[in-house]
Amino acid sequence: MASSFIPRVASRITVVTKNLFKKTKEQRKDDKQFSGKLKILLWTLGDTYDRDAEMPSEKRGEPWGI
């Protein structure tokens, strides 16, 4: 009984693991696009924060024009 149970469990674990790591080309492309957009957003926010710190207090928070 135990001898047939172990291979079935091992087979099921293998299938589940493969499904977890399997991604379609579209999913990988979406991940790359999202990652790129997030990096641009973070760079923009960081750049705005740095420039705001250098400005006189009455002009802080105003758009700089990109």
Distance CA 3, CA 1 (A): 5
Tokens for 16?
A: 């589940």
Please check the confidence at residue 64 and state whether its pLDDT lies above 70: no
Please check the confidence at residue 20 and state whether its pLDDT lies above 60: yes
Q: Is residue 29 domain-resident?
A: yes
Q: What's the average model confidence in pLDDT over 51-62?
A: 60
What's 61's DSSP letter? Answer: T
Q: Is residue 17 domain-resident?
A: no
Q: Is residue 40 domain-resident?
A: yes
Residue 13 CA, chain-centre distance (Å), reads 26
Q: Is residue 38 domain-resident?
A: yes
Contact partners, residue 66, CB within 8 Å, separation at least 6: 44
Q: Is residue 46 domain-resident?
A: yes
Number of domains in the chain: 1
> pLDDT value at position 53?
60
Domain around 41: 24-57
- pTM exceeding 0.75: no
